[in-house]
């Protein structure tokens, strides 16, 4: 890692793309409206960005439809699409520092995380899906006689992708990589809090060889650009990562327009269950990571710790030590291990949960909103104990560095507490007993159950939820299911 001075100097010289990327070029929004992209760690305006609306979405969808219809991308062989995506992965690695700075400045996460995690991860996901696409085979049905029935996997057409601000580049990549690899064209709407890396990505994709119109990026607000994309009659599929409330809106938009497919990855309130036979130091290390990484702004964050009553105070002391060792500060400093909330409004929202926690539970550490470098968008790593089941902090997604700790007596009670939520995205279990581990994984209602770790994730395994955490899966070969259709071609000869 470089020094704070190095990253500060580089940040000051960045060229920030701030217009819509449509049909292979940067263009102003039709209305001319703009909005400020703000660095939450300082409160300073980074740049003003084109505020896309319905007309801009329509332009982007038309460009995407034309690109799909004439086969400039969908008509390429899988090997040719693979080549372009591998080039894009290589370009991301070549421009690692630039993209890391864009996401750090835009959403306040530490530069150490964007340099070592987010941008390398995005490059890896483009590479993985690119490598996979020419290894997926169609099928021949065993019809017999003088019949040949082919079962072909074909691209859907135009994909609308709406992604959140917590991992701006990574979440865009999770949607774009399989959608593009499968041969679709895409209109991407990044979150208004963090549009900069997505806008630069459009340009980089063109450099990698994606034809004009195949990838379009329209920054804007949910009520304008997001709703227009969800309602557009020429979008074949809408994919979304974000809040459960907004996910339900996209389902409504689809039903009220062209009944487009909608795939959602929404909220979470993931339990982390720790039994007495676990490696308690390892459990504490990973539990701290599971709630404090990325300022707790993670949909699958392990925000509920369920601890066996016999080790509760021991684990609380371990967690308190780890929370108080976190360095909250300037995201451009390599010494910082927790940055700012994405903006002051979100910090205010999280602060409301801190107040609710102090009224209903025992504060172990933290519980404060912090002002650093002139910005009040920072929250101290916080732990609450003795949290009642009915408490707001035990049931609602906080999306901040706030851990709720509850106790249980036995497996049945642990499962009952863990499953007592509208969400079902992730869960973790800590035990050395393999029978218990398997049994618990069977009983927990979650898309991913991690055993003796938290939030286990790989390009090779599907990621997604149950209940009101959504449906459909990102990553793995199963991600292609969202971006393709099965077509039967039956030939009599």
DSSP 367: -
Residue with tokens 């530069």: 111
CA–CA distance, 425 with 301 (Å, rounded to integer): 9
In 3D space, the residue among 234, 237, 194 whose CA is nearest the CA of residue 217 turns out to be 194
What are the φ/ψ torsions at residue 293 (nearest 5 degrees)? -60, 140
CA–CA distance, 180 with 351 (Å, rounded to integer): 40
The distance of Cα 73 from the centroid of its chain, to the nearest Å, equals: 26
DSSP 52: B
Pairing assessment for the beta strands 34-38 and 45-50 based on DSSP bridges: antiparallel
DSSP 478: G
Helix, strand, coil percentages in the chain from 3-state DSSP, rounded to 5: 40, 25, 35
Structure tokens given for 143: 């019809």
411 is catalytic: no
- Determine how many CB atoms are found less than 10 A away from the CB of residue 36: 11
Structure tokens given for 234: 């020429």
Helices (H) and strands (E) in the chain, counts: 16, 24
In total, the chain counts a number of residues equal to 493
DSSP 210: P
CA–CA distance, 437 with 445 (Å, rounded to integer): 14
Q: Catalytic residue among 97, 265, 351, 397, which?
A: 265
In 3D space, the residue among 233, 228, 24, 6 whose CA is nearest the CA of residue 100 turns out to be 6
Q: What letters, b where the CB count within 10 A reaches 16 and e where it falls short, cover 450-486? A: bbbebbeeebeebbbbebbbbbbbbbbbebbbbbbee
Point out the residues that are catalytic: 265
């Amino acid at each position: 890692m470089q020094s704070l001075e190095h990253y500060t100097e580089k940040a000051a010289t960045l060229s920030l793309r701030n217009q819509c990327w449509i049909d292979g070029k940067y263009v102003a929004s039709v209305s001319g409206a703009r909005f400020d992209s703000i660095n939450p760690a300082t409160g300073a305006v980074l740049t003003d960005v084109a505020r896309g609306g319905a007309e801009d979405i329509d332009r982007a969808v038309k460009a995407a439809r034309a690109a799909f219809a004439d086969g400039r991308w969908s008509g390429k062989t899988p090997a040719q699409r693979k080549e372009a995506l591998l080039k894009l992965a290589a370009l991301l690695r070549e421009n690692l520092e630039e993209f890391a700075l864009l996401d750090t400045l835009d959403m306040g996460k530490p530069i150490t995380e964007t340099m070592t995690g987010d941008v390398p991860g995005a490059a890896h996901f483009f590479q993985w899906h690119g490598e996979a696409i020419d290894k997926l085979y169609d099928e021949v049905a065993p019809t017999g006689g003088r019949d040949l029935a082919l079962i072909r996997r074909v691209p859907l057409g135009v994909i609308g992708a709406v992604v959140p601000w917590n991992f701006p580049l990574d979440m865009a990549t999770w949607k774009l990589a399989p959608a593009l690899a499968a041969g679709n064209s895409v209109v991407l709407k990044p979150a208004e809090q963090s549009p900069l890396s997505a806008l630069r990505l459009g340009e980089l994709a063109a450099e990698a060889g994606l034809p004009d119109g195949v990838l379009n990026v329209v920054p804007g607000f949910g009520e304008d650009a997001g709703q227009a994309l969800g309602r557009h009659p020429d979008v074949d599929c809408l994919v979304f990562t974000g809040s459960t409330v907004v996910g339900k809106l996209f389902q409504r938009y689809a039903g009220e327009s062209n009944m487009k497919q909608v795939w959602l990855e929404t909220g979470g309130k993931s339990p982390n269950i720790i039994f007495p036979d676990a490696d308690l130091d390892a459990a504490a290390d990973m539990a701290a990571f599971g709630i404090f990484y990325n300022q707790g702004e993670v949909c699958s964050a392990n925000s509920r710790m369920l601890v066996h009553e016999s080790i509760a105070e021991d684990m609380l002391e371990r967690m308190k030590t780890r929370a108080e060792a976190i360095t909250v500060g300037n995201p451009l400093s390599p010494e910082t291990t927790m940055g700012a909330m994405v903006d002051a409004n979100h910090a205010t929202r999280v602060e409301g949960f801190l107040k609710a926690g102090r009224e209903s539970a025992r504060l172990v550490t933290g519980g404060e909103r912090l002002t650093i470098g002139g910005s009040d968008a920072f929250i101290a790593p916080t732990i609450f104990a003795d949290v009642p089941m009915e408490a707001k902090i035990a049931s609602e997604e906080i999306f901040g560095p706030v851990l709720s700790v509850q106790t249980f007596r036995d497996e049945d009670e642990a499962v009952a507490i863990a499953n007592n939520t509208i969400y079902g995205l992730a869960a973790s279990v800590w035990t050395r007993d393999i029978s218990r581990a398997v049994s618990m994984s069977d009983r927990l209602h979650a898309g991913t159950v991690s055993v003796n770790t938290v939030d286990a994730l790989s390009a090779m395994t599907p990621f997604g939820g149950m209940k009101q955490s959504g449906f459909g899966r990102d990553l793995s070969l199963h991600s292609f299911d969202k971006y393709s259709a099965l077509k039967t071609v039956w030939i009599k000869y």
